[in-house]
Each structure stands twice: as structure tokens, then as C-alpha cells.
Amino acid sequence: MSLNGQVCIVTGATSGVGKATALELARRGATVGIVARDPERARLVADEIARAGGGRRADVFLADLGAQREVRRAANEILARCPRIDVLVNNAGVVHLKRTTTVDGIEATFAVNHLAYFLLTRLLLDRLRESAPARIVNVASEAHKFVRGIQFDDIGFQRSYRAMRVYGHSKLANLLFSQELARRLEKTGVTVNSVHPGAVASSLGKNNGRVAQVLIGLLVPFFRTPEQGAATSIHVATAPERTGVTGRYFKNCREARPAAAASDAAAARRLWELSDGLTGLAS
């Protein structure tokens, strides 16, 4: 599907699935904007996108997605520079082996993997509505099945922190957010879906020191390539047959059934209200 004339925003686009997603969108003719933390890596990826897209250089929006003030600044810059947004791919993600908090005092995995999706999307939502038909793709994971539900009584895992459980918890939040947002955007022309990229050889988790990097290196031969991992994001963002499809979960470019906890409408509404408060949007 040609994306000529369309504007696509991708977070976490300096490596792995995000980079592969941004490059493929550019190859299909889109004007691509990338949200990234590292200016030098962002510059290099923007150059690659220009080569892939026939000279169209990517717009770069710098932000540490763990800091809400930076998410807000990036959103303002996107709105100032992008008169339309046809596709938003929330892709950035982290795994922390040890519990850490952001400058906002929020557990970092939940802050980056869920609240950054929530806040950036909400801040760009009017522009997406104005650009309809538009699509939002939230990169989740089968890891959402590691937990049975949202831990509302200890959202920051202060009592007990296990890295993959915390990661799965944040990915369940992605699915619940997608469900609730799809409900709220019904009949607006903006669709919201979540995807599982598969186990991908990417930089996810490499912020956890030498031991983690060695373990990831040993597993790389069993992982998908970033391009293979990006395939489902690209499919959901662009496939004509997905026009109007919303509130669904995809893996391997096909609709899939998530865990029962990901279809809990009451939990989705409660998570929305909690996220509203944690990001200051409620006020």
C-alpha cells in the first residue's frame, strides 16, 4: 500500500523493531517522524530514512519517554511541525532488571511502556481525529500473559519486583489502553490496535549491564530479525483490509486472542482513570 502524502510517527525508532518500522514506512512513501532519546543515533537513523524514502528526511523529536515533561514537549513539537498525522506507532519499550523510578517518581517500566503511550497519544489525539482515517498501533507483547491482571494496589511493584512480571504487567496495560481508547474513538475514523512483534533481536534490555547483554547475545540466533518483528506493526498500520478494524490484537500479521485479562472492560476503564491522574490529564 502506497503511503504517499501520509505522515507517520514512530517512537523508539533508533533501533530494533521501531527502526525497521520507520524505514519500511518511508520506503512506502510516508513522511516519517521519529521520537528518540539519543540525538546522534536519531540523526543517523534520519539519514537512513532519507535514503530509504527517496530523499525525504525524517523529522526528529527528541524526548526521554520516561520524563512526562519531555513527552509533552515532543507532542507540542509534533503538532507544530505535522499538520496531519495518519499513523502513530507507539513502539518504545524498556525492561529493567532492578526497580528504578523516573524523574516523576513512577516505576520506570510502567512509565515508559504504558504511560508514555497513554500521554503522547492523548496529546496527539485531536490531530489524529482531524486526519481521519488514521491508525494508532500500540506495540504490546505476549508477555502480557505473565500476569493475571493490573496490580492496582501496588502499581509500582514496591512490595515485590520481578523484572519479567513487571514487563508483562506493562504490556497488559498496552492492551487495556488500546481497548478503552478504541471504545472512546468509535465512529471517529481513528482505529486503535495492539500487536505482538515476537521475540526480536533488538536493544531491549541492554540497559541492564554486561550480564544481560551476554545473555541476550546467546539468545540472538533464536530471535526474529527486527524486520520480521516489524511486519505486524506495518501490516496493522497500512493494510487496506484492516481499514476500520479497531480494538483488536495481532501477531504474525493475523488477529489473535489475548489473555482474558486483556478484555476486562472494567479494568480498562480503571486503568484509564489511574493513568489520567498519573499524567496530570485528569486536571
- Residues serving a catalytic function are 167
The residue assigned the cell 503522547 is 120
Sheet containing 59-62, strands listed edge to edge, beginning at the edge strand earlier in sequence: 59-62, 31-36, 7-11, 87-90, 134-139, 190-196, 249-251, 254-255
List, in order, residues 6 or more apart from 52 with CB less than 8 Å away: 23, 24, 26, 27
**Grid cell for residue 105:** 517518581
Q: Between vectors from CA 235 to CA 234 and to CA 241, what angle results, nearest 5°?
A: 145
Closest residue by Cα to residue 135 from 235, 251, 231: 235
Amino acid making up residue 237: A
Separation CA 176–CA 271 (nearest Å): 8
Helix, strand, coil tally for the chain in percent (to 5): 50, 15, 35
Please report the DSSP string for 55-117 in residue order. Answer: T-PPEEEE--TTSHHHHHHHHHHHHHH-S--SEEEE------SS--B-TTSSBHHHIIIIIHH
Report the relative pairing of strands 87-90 and 7-11 from DSSP bridges. Answer: parallel
Please give the sequence-ordered ranges of beta strands (E in DSSP) within the chain, or none if there are none.
7-11, 31-36, 59-62, 87-90, 134-139, 190-196, 249-251, 254-255
